[in-house]
Amino acid sequence: YQAAGRGLNRYRKRQRALRAKLQKKRTKSARRRLKERSRRETRHVKNTNHIIAKTIVTEAERTSAGISLEELKGIRQRVRLRKPQRVALHSWAFAQLGDFIVYKAKRAGVPLVFVDPAYSSRECAECGRIDRLNRISQAKFACRSCGVVAHADRNASHVLARRGEDVWTAGRESRVPATP
């Protein structure tokens, strides 16, 4: 899925440069072309999101696994980023991708749950300890408690998978006491 995301980022960067060039002209035809480019970029992103969602759901279906997604509502208001990161975050249609995954998972009969993403990048997937110092850099994770060293994204994905499993089993367990 990274390759699709990387390709999409390259595409967006190129489109941004072309947009800047057209915006500088300030003519009627330039505005018309900008509108056309906007529609084309929207279609391209939508198609890429469909492909990514289909790949995720197909893999989950093939391995008889469930999917746990981060609850990302309000992320744009919550996080504070540098300008290049803001551009990437605000142009990413993650809600659309989430919606595609939800409907494709429902159609395929793949279990799906939403989990709270809080501190998932700082929590150890092995021992469960949360510490700000666990996250050495953007890419490296090293637990201060148990000593596990892993790629930060991989560790966070394991944490989210475990949280999804916990949510799923909690939902299956009945809250009603058994009748004698």
| Rounded alpha-carbon distances, angstroms, from residue 131 to 77, 149, 162 | 24, 14, 18
CA distance 158 to 166: 12
Q: How far is CA 120 from CA 35, 98, 109, 124, 128, in A?
A: 39, 18, 27, 8, 10
pTM across the whole model:
0.77
| Confidence class for position 3, pLDDT limits 50, 70, 90 | low
Tell me the pLDDT tens digit for each residue of 30-70. 999 999 999 998 899 899 899 999 999 999 999 999 999 98
Predicted confidence (pLDDT) per residue in 138-172, tens digit: 889 999 988 899 999 999 999 999 999 888 887 76
Instruction: Name the DSSP class of 80.
Output: -
Q: What is the pLDDT of residue 93?
A: 79
Mean pLDDT to the nearest integer, 82-98: 77
